[in-house]
Amino acid sequence: MSRTKYPIHPDFKKYENLNPPLSRAVLPLMQKMMGPLFSMEKSTEQIKISHLSIPASPNQAISSNHTIRALMYTPVGISEPAPCLVYFHGGGFAISASPHHFQMARTYALNTNCKVLFVDYRLAPKHPFPAAPEDCYAAYTWLLEHAGEYAVDTARIAVGGDSAGGQLATVVCLMARDRGQRVPCGQMMIYPVTGRNMVTESMKQFTDTPLCNSRDIEKYFSFYIEDPANEKSIYASPIHAESLEGLPPAYIETAEFDCLRDEGILYAERLKDAGISVTLNNTLGTIHGFDIAKESAIVKACVAQRVSFLLGLFKNRIGTE
């Protein structure tokens, strides 16, 4: 089915008929196929990659008899203790990290001159909510506890992610605030999921857009939220939190032809209402997941803005300890 009715920028036209197959039968196969990509990440002359195994938090509301895989990207020659971005990949809480995600981790590390902790959290439908946010929070608190061992500056730890990972980034901030833990110094959210059962104009309009649309979102949530009672949790729908006070500065990026566009904008407004500094970048001609087209001038400009946000965060936190 062609999406030519949408004036998508030519940079992203080759993706206009692409949507992942979503079913309980197919997802485990996709995860099995893509999972080994994580182990294939290797060091280069520019960046060292360490493969880590992080214990799950003992206070999880779910079984914690597992470890969490993670990658630490460290630019060669970086000054230490260094800032660090804890990154959570997208994929609807159900699809493994792709080569694109690993490439973005390298880009952020090299261009921001920071370390990147890339978290391989558990995925639905085998591991529904709250497995993903609990894994992400466990990885964040583990980094705080082991910052000295890995030469990370605890005052300069930010969180970030794309799509589902964008939600997980802000949820980690909420968890840290609610559980009395140190809150990250910033949150970077790229075309994020921010709510459940959102009735926005973009959600109603974009039912057939490429890479992700409102029909896809319903499928993803059907895999992610098994217990309907969990739909009301702010860790599954942060936009519905009673208060967003105490969260860190945010960078939020939306795509024009994306069903998640309006909820990203609404979340930015809610953060601003709570007194949080927000940089909102509403991109035009774009689709969900558009930064997969890494040679696009639009993508390069967006990546530059993300890097600028991170650099500003890390610069402003120097000397705060």
Side chain identity, residue 200: T
For residue 115, which of 85, 81, 157 has the smallest C-alpha distance?
Answer: 85
Answer yes or no: 163 catalytic: yes
Delimit the domains of the chain by residue range.
20-316
CA distances for 64 relative to 29, 123, 124, 154, angstroms: 24, 14, 16, 25
Answer yes or no: 2 catalytic: no
272-312, pLDDT tens digit by residue? 999 999 999 999 999 999 999 999 999 999 999 999 999 99
Low-confidence ranges of the chain (pLDDT < 70): 1-4, 58-64, 318-321
Under 8 Å between Cβ of 200 and 227: no
For residue 275, the model assigns a pLDDT of 98
How far apart CA 56 and CA 214 sit, in angstroms, is 32
- Candidates 135, 162, 216, 258; catalytic one: 258
For residue 316, the model assigns a pLDDT of 77
Tokens of 81: 């203790």
- Candidates 9, 89, 101, 288; catalytic one: 288
How far apart CA 163 and CA 290 sit, in angstroms, is 11
- Candidates 89, 96, 101, 163; catalytic one: 163
100-137, pLDDT tens digit by residue? 999 999 999 999 999 999 999 999 999 999 999 999 99
Answer yes or no: 258 catalytic: yes
Cis, peptide link before residue 130, omega less than 30° from 0: yes
Provide the CB-side half-sphere exposure for 219 (13 A, CA).
19
Q: Interior CA angle at 46 toward 121 and 164, to 5°?
A: 25
User: Which ranges constitute the DSSP H helices of the chain?
Assistant: 26-34, 36-39, 99-112, 131-145, 164-178, 201-205, 214-224, 261-273, 297-316
Tokens of 233: 């949790």
Our separate counts of H helices and E strands in the chain read 9, 8
**254 burial type by CB count under 10 A (0-12 exposed, 13-18 middle, 19+ buried):** buried
How far apart CA 224 and CA 168 sit, in angstroms, is 13
The superfamily in CATH containing domain 20-316 is Alpha/Beta hydrolase fold, catalytic domain (3.40.50.1820)
**In this structure, what DSSP letter does residue 257 have?**
B
